[in-house]
């Protein structure tokens, strides 16, 4: 009987995703769907409040027993965690060289849009790497990896970083790895994340619309769609790149690795309420809608936040 049940579960798990879209198998770090399959075969199905957290190989959630306050490991013990609350009066104004993007204007060969089980993740396949240097990075060069989104249950929440405790409805994270690091995930300055926040607006954001439409095809974790071409990375960035807040923090999801250089641009993009509501229709590893996926803000613990300004920029 147990053997037959396992066979039935295998059919459901491996065939169902293909009904609505592809199943992502090339990026196991984000594919918690495969880990759920293992749990189903070797132990009781986890409930929403009993997911184990604290490592890249673990499932995690945002509420109940699996919520952010119960994340362990560096998520609990670290003292340079992200996100944080920005207090403008406490920031230190500095002037730095311009941020220099290279390859950001490229139209990608293809755009991969994936339901990671926690967010919607975008990868761009381009002819040459997309890099950023200058600004707070100095001469260090960071190469673009992927971007993903964080949202909330209603119009008053969603962004991970806050300003005077105010949240915005959506925040995009553009993840970069240091180009010359042997293992960027363990190097002290191996990762950088550029944050773009969104204000509500009555009209849809046309840049986000291809992503919004794709969500309907990738409701379940591990599913993805590959679209020919797509938008350049520059389209996801605000028009003004000359002013931003920067500090040293961490990844905002387990394993919450520290040593991440953060940039959160001062200029925000816009998003409609309808578009944010579509993000909430994607499902997590337990088949439940991801109504929100932001982490609460963490203490600064003596860290300094810089308001960085530059006089010009270079984007190619």
Residues with catalytic function: 118
3-state SS of 3-51?
Answer: HHHHHHHHHHHHHHHHHHCEECCCCCCCCHHHHHHHHHHHCCCCCCCCC
Q: Cis before residue 255, ω within 30 degrees of 0? A: yes
Q: Among 211, 179, 212, which Cα is nearest to 278's?
A: 212
Instruction: Give the distance, in angstroms, between the CA of residue 49 and the centroid of all CA atoms in the same chain.
Output: 23
Q: Among 75, 82, 90, which Cα is nearest to 304's?
A: 90
SS3 78: coil
Q: Among 183, 184, 150, 187, which Cα is nearest to 169's?
A: 150
How far apart CA 42 and CA 58 sit, in angstroms, is: 15
Residues 6+ apart with CB under 8 A from 208: 271, 275
- What tokens were used for 3? 């053997």
């Amino acid at each position: 009987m147990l053997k037959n049940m396992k066979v039935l579960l295998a059919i459901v798990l491996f065939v169902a995703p293909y009904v609505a879209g592809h199943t992502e198998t090339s990026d196991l770090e984000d594919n918690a769907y495969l880990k759920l399959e293992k749990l189903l075969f070797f132990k009781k199905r986890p409930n929403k409040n009993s997911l184990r957290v604290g490592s890249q190989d673990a499932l995690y959630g945002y509420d109940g027993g699996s919520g952010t306050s119960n994340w362990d490991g560096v998520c609990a013990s670290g003292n340079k965690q992200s996100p944080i609350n920005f207090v403008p009066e406490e920031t230190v104004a500095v002037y730095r060289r311009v941020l220099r993007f290279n390859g950001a204007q490229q139209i990608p060969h293809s755009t991969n849009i994936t339901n990671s089980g926690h967010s919607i993740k975008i990868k761009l396949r381009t002819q040459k790497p997309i890099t950023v240097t200058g600004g707070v990075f100095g001469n260090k060069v960071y190469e673009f990896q992927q971007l993903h989104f964080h949202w909330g249950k209603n119009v008053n929440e969603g962004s991970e970083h806050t300003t005077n405790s105010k949240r915005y409805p959506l925040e995009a994270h553009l993840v970069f790895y240091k180009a010359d690091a042997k293992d960027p995930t363990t190097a002290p300055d191996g990762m950088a994340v550029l944050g773009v926040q969104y204000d509500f607006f009555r009209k849809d954001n046309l840049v986000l619309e291809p992503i919004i439409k794709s969500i309907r095809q990738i409701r379940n974790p591990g599913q993805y769609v590959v679209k020919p071409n797509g938008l350049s990375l520059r389209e996801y960035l605000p028009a003004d790149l000359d002013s931003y807040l920067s500090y040293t923090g961490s990844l905002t999801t387990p394993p919450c690795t520290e040593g991440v250089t953060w940039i959160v641009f001062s200029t925000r993009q816009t998003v409609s309420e309808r578009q944010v509501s579509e993000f909430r229709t994607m499902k997590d590893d337990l088949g439940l809608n991801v109504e929100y996926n932001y982490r609460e803000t963490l203490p600064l613990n003596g860290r300094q936040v810089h308001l960085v300004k530059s006089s010009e920029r270079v984007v190619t």
